[in-house]
A and B are shown apart, each in its own frame.
Chain A
Amino acid sequence: MPSPLLEINRLTKRFGGVVALSEVTVTVEAHEIVGLIGPNGAGKTTLFNCITGLLRPEEGTIAFGRESREPLVGLAAHEIVQCGIARTFQNIRLFAHLTVLEHVLVGTYIRTHAGLLSAVLRRREARHEERWALDRAMGLVEEFGLSRRAHEPAVSLPFGLQRRVELARAMALEPELLLLDEPAAGLNPTEKQDLLGVIQRLRTHGLTIVLIDHDMRFVMPVSDRVIVLDYGRVIAAGSSSAVQNDPRVIEAYLGKPSTQQ
C-alpha cells in the first residue's frame, strides 16, 4: 500500500459565519486522477485555494509529498509550488501583454536561479540558463500545440488555446500534483475532447491530477476516483459507478434536473 501523495485531514474554512469547508478529509494517491465534483458553492475551489496557499484554513492539516511529508498550511503560495503542486484557475488567469512563450517562460522561473546582477552582466551561467529556459519553454509550447501562436499575446488566443497556455505554464513548474479547476468550462465539445486527450497524456508522464468540474460526463471517464462535495462536506467518494449510484449524491447533485440534462 503506497502512502498517499496528498493527505487532507479535517480541513475547515469559514468566511465569517459561512462554513465553506467543514472537516474535509481527502487523500490522493500518487499517479491517480481524482475528480472533485459537487454543485455550485459546494467548496471545490475553496479546497483548491486552501491547498495552494491562497486561503488559510481555520482548522485541519494538509500534508504533501511521498517521502518527506510537508505540512502545507501556513506556507506561501510560491512555497507550495516549490513543493510540487501546480494549478490552473476556473476563470483563466493569464498575464495580459505577455506572449504565449513568455507565459511558459514565467513558469520556468522556479527552475532557474540567476540573480539580477548576473543577468545584467550577461554572465555565462545566466546566458546558459536563459538558453535552457527558452528551449524548455519552446518544448512545452510545441507539446501543447501552441507553436504557431508562440509570439502572440496569450489573451488574444481563442478560449480553448488560452486554457492550454495555462496548462503549459503549470507544466513548466514540473509539478507532481496538478490541480485543474474546471478546465472544461467554456470549451466547446471538440475542445473538451482535446482536453481529455491532454489529461490522459499528462497521466502517462506519471502526474497526479485532481480535477474539478460539475459536468459529470466529463469527469467520470477520466477519473480513477470521484469525490463529491456538498455544502463543504465530503458526501461520497469512490469509483465513478459507485458514486453515481449513491443516493446522497443523487439527492444533492444528480437529482437536480438543471444539471442532469
Chain B
Amino acid sequence: MRRWGAALLIVACGLPLITRNAYHIDVLTGAGLYALLALGLNVVVGFTGLLHLGYAAFFAIGAYTYALLNLHAGVPFWLGLLPSAATAGLCGVLLGIPVMRVRGDYLAIVTLGFGEIVRILFTNLESWTGGPNGLLGIAHPTIWIPGQGVWGFGVRSVPYYYLVVALTALTAAVCVRMNRSRVGRAWAAIREDEVAAACAGIDTVQLKLLAQGCGAAIGGVAGAVFAAKQGTITPDSFDFILSVMVLAMVVLGGLGRVSGAIIGALVLGVLPEVLRGVEQFRMLLFGVVMISMMRLCPQGIMGALRARGLFRSPSSTVDAVPAA
C-alpha cells in the first residue's frame, strides 16, 4: 500500500511538468483540498463511526480564522495554519461535548444543525465577517527563496497545487499512523461496539472527543489553505452541499480507509469537470455514477479492490512488520 501511495505522490508531483494548463492544475488543486477534507472527515466517520453532516463548518472556521488573523493582525499564512487548525479542532471538541449522548441518525441531525448555525453566524456577524459579502484581500502565501528573496504565490495555480499535494500527503501519513496506534484501535472498537469498547477499558467519551478534535483540525487546515488561495471568502462557500459531498467522497472511497478518502475525493472532485462536455446532463450523470457505485460496491472503491485481493494487508490497525 505504501508503494502505491509513493507512486501516486510521484505522479502528482510530476503532473504540472506534463500539463501547463492552469485550469487542469486548478481542478486538481480543488480535488486535493477535497482530499484533505475527506481525510479529516474520515477520522470522525470512518475511524470512529460518528456520522457527521456539518463538516463544512470546520472548513469555514479554519478559513475565517486565518482570514481574520491576517486582515487584523497581519499574520502570514504559514503562521496562520496553526491557529486555524487549533480553532477548528477546539470547535470540534466543543461540539462533541453536547452530542456525546446521541448516535447515528440523531448525531447526523445535530451536526447538520451545527453546520448550518456556523454558516448563518458567518453570514450575520457582519461587523466581523463582512456578512454575505465575506472577507476580501486575504494575503496569499509567500515563501523565502535563498538568493531570490520573498516570493509570493499570488494567483498562480502551480504553487497552490504543490502546497495541497504536500499537505495531503502529510495528512495521509499522519492518518495512517493514527489508525495503526492503540488510539486507532480504540476508535475502531468504539465504531463497532461502544458498550464492548467501554467494557474493554476504553474511555469512550475522551476518545470520541479526540477523534472529533483531530478531524475538525484537519478541516481547519484545509480552510486556511482555501482562504489563502482564494484571497476572498464568503459564507456560501461552506454550505451543506459541501458537507454532503465530502461525506460522499469518504463513503465512495471506502469508509475508514485513508487511501479511500483520497481516491474518493479525486474521483468526485474531478468528475464534475470531466462531465462539463455534456452540459446540462452533468449533474445527472454524476448522480448516476454515485448510485451505481453504491449499488455495485457498497464498501467503496478501496473496499472493493481489497475484496478482490488487491492492496491486501492482514489487518488495518496493526503494522505488517512491527518495528523492532
Contact = CB atoms under 8 A, between A and B. Distances in A.
Contact of B182 (A53, A97, A133): A133
A173 B200 contact: yes
A97 B201 contact: no
Interface string B196-213: 111111111100001000
Contact of A134 (B191, B201, B322): B322
A202 to B, nearest CB: 18
Interface size for chain B: under 10, 10 to 19, 20 to 34, or 35 or more residues?
Answer: 35 or more
A101 B315 contact: yes
A76 B188 contact: no
Nearest to A93: B196
Interface in A73-117: 76-78, 81-82, 86-87, 89, 93-99, 101-102, 105-110, 112, 114-116
Nearest to B314: A151
Contacts of A116: 178, 181, 183, 210, 214
Nearest to B188: A98
Given A106-B189, A107-B200, A151-B315, A93 B195 contact: yes
A119 interface: yes
A78 B201 CA distance: 4
A96 B192 CA distance: 6
A120 interface: yes
Given A77-B198, A81-B199, A127-B323, A98 B178 contact: no
Interface residues of A, number: 44
Contact of A130 (B189, B199, B314, B322): B322
Given A76-B203, A109-B201, A120-B177, A102 B185 contact: yes
Nearest to A98: B188
Contacts, number: 126
A178 to B, nearest CB: 12
Contact of B188 (A102, A112, A122, A131): A102
B200 A94 contact: no
Interface of B: 174, 177-178, 180-186, 188-189, 191-193, 195-205, 210, 214, 314-315, 317-319, 322-324
Given A94-B192, A116-B181, 13 more contacts: A81-B201, A98-B185, A98-B189, A98-B192, A98-B317, A99-B315, A109-B182, A116-B178, A119-B181, A131-B322, A131-B323, A133-B182, A134-B318
Interface of A: 52-54, 76-78, 81-82, 86-87, 89, 93-99, 101-102, 105-110, 112, 114-116, 119-120, 122, 126-127, 129-131, 133-134, 151, 169-170, 173
